[in-house]
C-alpha cells in the first residue's frame, strides 16, 4: 500500500480505530515512525473538523516498538477547543502496551500587527538523480522502498564520517493525491537516519525517543515535488543526542522546524 492509501483508511475517521500495517513499511522490528506519526495526525485532523485551524505543532514520544502486521489500537481525544486554538492527543497501543503518544496544537488565523518573516535558506544544490539512494533489500529499512532520498550533505550511516550534519531532498515515489500536505512532510521528516549514525564505524542500533516539530504554514504543494531537509547534531553525550532540522519546500520556503532526542547504542 502507498502512503496515501494508508492515510486514507476509513477507520481513521473514527476517534477509536483498530489497524495493522504491512511489513513493507517497517523499520527494523517496528513500523516506520514517520508513518505512525502521520496516522495519528490524520486521526486528529478528522476529529478536529475545522479546516480553518491549521497544524501549529506536533510532538510525539516513541514509548515502545509498534510491530507491523499485528493489530493495534489508535485513540484520539480532543483535550480543549477554544475560540482560536485546539489541543489534541492521540495514543497508539498494541498488546495492551503504549507504543506512541502524540500531542498537537491547531490554530486559526487572528488579527495581529506583529509580523516576523522567516528568512532561513537552505544550501542544497539542485536535485541530482545520481545522488538518490537506491533501495537495497536487507540492508536498508523496508520503508525506504517507498521513498526517494537524495543525499547531498553528510554521509551514509556507519561510515565513520567526521561530520554529524546531514542534508538532502526527499519525496515519496508515488506522487501525493491530490497534493502534498502536512501529513506528507511529517512522515518524510522522519525518513532520514539519525545524524550521528554516520559517525559510527559499524552497524549500530539507534532509536528516536521524542520528536517535536513546528509548522510555519499550511502545506498544499504539487504531489510530485521534493522537500528539502538540513539537520545538525545539536549535542550528543552518554548515549543520547539532540538533533535539529529545518524543512523546506522545493522553492526554498521554510516550512517547519524539527527537534528529536535520539538514543544510540554504540557501546
CATH number of the domain at 46, please: 3.10.129.10
Domain shared by 130 and 215, yes or no: yes
Domain shared by 150 and 54, yes or no: no
Domain shared by 96 and 132, yes or no: no
The answer to whether 231 and 166 have CB atoms below 8 angstroms apart is yes
The answer to whether 197 and 163 have CB atoms below 8 angstroms apart is no
**Rounded Cα–Cα distance for residues 153 and 131 (Å):** 11
**Rounded Cα–Cα distance for residues 119 and 221 (Å):** 20
Question: pTM to 2 decimals?
Answer: 0.95
Name, in order, each residue with C-beta under 8 angstroms of 149's C-beta and a sequence gap of 6 or more.
132, 133, 168, 169, 170, 191, 192
Range of the domain at 134: 122-267
H/E stretch holding 245 reads strand 240-249
* Averaged pLDDT of the chain: 94
With a cut of 80, say whether residue 5 has pLDDT above it.
Answer: yes
Domain shared by 105 and 126, yes or no: no
Lowest mean pLDDT across 71-80, 94-103, 117-126, 146-155: 117-126
Amino acid at each position: 500500500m502507498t502512503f496515501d492509501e494508508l492515510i486514507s483508511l476509513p477507520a481513521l475517521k473514527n476517534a477509536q480505530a483498530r489497524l495493522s500495517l504491512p511489513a513493507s513499511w517497517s523499520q527494523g522490528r517496528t513500523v516506520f515512525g514517520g508513518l505512525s506519526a502521520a496516522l495519528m495526525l490524520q486521526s486528529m485532523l478528522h476529529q478536529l473538523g475545522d479546516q480553518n485551524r491549521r497544524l501549529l505543532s506536533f510532538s510525539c514520544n516513541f514509548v515502545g516498538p509498534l510491530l507491523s502486521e499485528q493489530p493495534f489500537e489508535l485513540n484520539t481525544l480532543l483535550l480543549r477547543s477554544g475560540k482560536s486554538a485546539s489541543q489534541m492527543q492521540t495514543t497508539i497501543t498494541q498488546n495492551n502496551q503504549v507504543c506512541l503518544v502524540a500531542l498537537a496544537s491547531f490554530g486559526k488565523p487572528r488579527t495581529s500587527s506583529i509580523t516576523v518573516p522567516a528568512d532561513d535558506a537552505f544550501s542544497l544544490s539542485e536535485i541530482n538523480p545520481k545522488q538518490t539512494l537506491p533501495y537495497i533489500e536487507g540492508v536498508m529499512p523496508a520503508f525506504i522502498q517507498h521513498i526517494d532520498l537524495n543525499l547531498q550533505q553528510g554521509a551514509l550511516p556507519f561510515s565513520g564520517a567526521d561530520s554529524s550534519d546531514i542534508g538532502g531532498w526527499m519525496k515519496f515515489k508515488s506522487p501525493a493525491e491530490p497534493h502534498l500536505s502536512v501529513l506528507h512532510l511529517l512522515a518524510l521528516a522522519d525518513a532520514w537516519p539519525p545524524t550521528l549514525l554516520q559517525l559510527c564505524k559499524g552497524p549500530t542500533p539507534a532509536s528516536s525517543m521524542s520528536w517535536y516539530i513546528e509548522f510555519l504554514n499550511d502545506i498544499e504543494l504539487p504531489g510530485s515535488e521534493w522537500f528539502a531537509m538540513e539537520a545538525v547534531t545539536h549535542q550528543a553525550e552518554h548515549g543520547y543526542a539532540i538533533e535539529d532540522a529545518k524543512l523546506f519546500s522545493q522553492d526554498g520556503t521554510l516550512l517547519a522546524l524539527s527537534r528529536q532526542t535520539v538514543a544510540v547504542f554504540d557501546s
